[in-house]
Amino acid sequence: MKRIFYAKNEVVRIGLVLNGQQRSATCEPRTLLSDFLRQDLGATGTHVGCEHGVCGACTVKIDGVAQRACMTLAVQVEGREIETVEGLNRGPHCDQSGLSDLQQAFRRNHALQCGFCTAGILMSCADYLQRKPDPSETEVREMLSGHLCRCTGYTNIVKAVLETAAERLGRPYGAALAPDQPGHAGTGAAEQAGLVDA
Amino acid sequence: MKPQAFDYARPDNAEEAIALLADSGEDARILAGGQSLMAVLNLRLAQPSVLIDISRVPDLNFIRNDGKALAIGAAATQGSVEWRDALAAEVPLLAQAFPHISHFQIRNRGTVCGSIAHADPSAELPLVLLALGGEVVLRSRRGRRTVAAQDFFQGMLMTARAADELVEEARYPLARPGTGYAFEEFSGRHGDFAVCAVAAAVDAGGIRLAVGGVADRPRLATFPRLAGSDLDAALNDFAWELGAKDDHHASAKFRRQLVRHLGRTAIDKAST
């Protein structure tokens, strides 16, 4: 990599790999990755909410790692691999339906309503499950704490994530929803779902 | 497009980064993970004229266990430290603190040194560094100097770093046999800024307790191995010393109660 200097208001051409495709567009150094994706590359699947890292709507994967696109400059990701919700239907966890197993689990569990936060949540979950294939409910909730969803109350999102993990491990889903251990704040999600004895 | 326009420089190595910093004057900002700085820019609370992006500088992206400390370079993300297999054995207090530090998605990009340079009084990474008696390595064209955490944090977002210095490395001392460690935090919502956070290290010789979120910087107290009402009295004195203030998150009274309660909880956990 060689040293780079872009003057303010200079219009620079930024190339990156978006969902496996080489793409490029021009922008200013101050352009946020979230705006670059939506406005310059036309990839509007990524949503923009708070624009200061709180709501999680703009989360994308940069070189495989879930990060906030609104807290990243487009010039910072020159030459890197970006994955957005539009690219989730590629890779090993997809079938002919055009949706990944994670997206299908979200649909089955009614884990979205208005859908504004969903693209970001899916990208976080995709990264997280790859690194942590068998998370506990508490761990999933910790990971989801980086996202705001005002429709679902999160319970169905947690179920969808745990169900996806269980499916990938070839395990019946109910087993993933054992009650939390003493010392953890149990949510009762398992009981509500009728999956464990009350 | 939220931030005000700035020049953007992406140096190749640490030496270029400090040269740029020296040449750019006080209006330059180092951009590492940007998980504090980008929010500040998006809200236009700061308008730097130059951003020096070190997030891809290879010789600043390191995590080294040198036998005494875990040395974390300026470009190393919090996530890369957190997901280190040996972390719970190397620096158990860091491993305990990580789940409280903002969110998974922020830790994936935010850096350890960035949090230390930012010096938010409620941030966990400065707090843990202080509790363990760690150090900060500062580098400029004038050379390197090592500053103890105790001297580095000087107030609300204020540190001992000069304008031309880069926080090159944070040094977290490794776990010592016979020492127990515990971290406790209270915040409004998981991952929010701490209303009060405490980090304790307890060995046969005594107790080190650092408190964040109450004073204008993380603050450290050392006690002998007190117990029972003697310990409660010492914690109460410390809670009052911190000069807690009322704000829209919590009252001063509630913060003092948190220092007493979380302090006692952490010390008890670290003592077992």
Q: pTM of the entire structure?
A: 0.92
Residues A113-138, mean pLDDT to the nearest whole number: 97
Question: In chain B, which residue's Cα lies nearest the Cα of A120?
Answer: B105
Which residues in chain A have Cβ-Cβ distances shorter than 8 Å to B105?
A: 56, 59, 66-68, 124, 146-147
- pLDDT number for residue A92: 81
**Both tokens of residue B242?**
């911190």
Question: In chain A, which residue's Cα lies nearest the Cα of B20?
Answer: A5
Instruction: Spell out, as residue ranges, where chain B has pLDDT lower than 70.
Output: 1
- Is the residue at A182 inside a domain? no
Is B133 in the A-facing interface, judged by CB distances under 8 Å? Answer: no
Greater pLDDT, B114 or A178: B114
Domain final residue, candidates A84, A109, A130: A84
Going along chain B from its start, the domains and CATH numbers come out as: 7-53 (3.30.43.10), 62-173 (3.30.465.10), 181-271 (3.30.390.50)
Domain hosting A168: range is: 101-176
- pLDDT number for residue A179: 53
Tell me the residues of A at the B interface, defined by beta carbons under 8 Å apart.
1-9, 28-32, 35, 51-53, 56, 59, 62, 65-68, 70-73, 75-76, 124, 127-128, 131, 141-143, 145-147
Widest Cα–Cα separation across chain B: 58
- Is the residue at A1 inside a domain? no
Which residues in chain B have Cβ-Cβ distances shorter than 8 Å to A62?
A: 109
- Is the residue at A187 inside a domain? no
Q: Choose the mutation target among A6, A68, A131 for the interface with B, i.e. most B CBs under 10 Å.
A: A68
Same domain, A132 and A75: no
- Is the residue at A181 inside a domain? no
d(CA B97, CA A5): 37
Is B85 in the A-facing interface, judged by CB distances under 8 Å? Answer: no
- Is the residue at A95 inside a domain? no
CB atoms within 10 A of CB B264: 17
pLDDT tens digit sequence for A54-111: 999 999 999 999 999 999 999 999 999 999 999 998 878 888 888 999 999 999 999 9
Q: By C-alpha distance, which of B262, B109, B154, B150 is closest to B198? A: B262
Examine the pLDDT at A176 and tell me if it is beyond 80.
no
Domain final residue, candidates A84, A119, A139: A84
> Which CATH number fits the domain that encloses residue A77?
3.10.20.30
Same domain, A17 and A72: yes
d(CA B148, CA B138): 11
| ipTM for this model | 0.93
Question: In chain B, which residue's Cα lies nearest the Cα of A35?
Answer: B1
Residue with tokens 């001992």: B160
Q: Where are the beta strands (DSSP E) in chain B?
A: 7-10, 28-31, 50-53, 63-65, 69-73, 135-140, 143-148, 153-155, 158-159, 166-173, 180-186, 196-203, 206-212, 219-223
Examine the pLDDT at A183 and tell me if it is beyond 90.
no
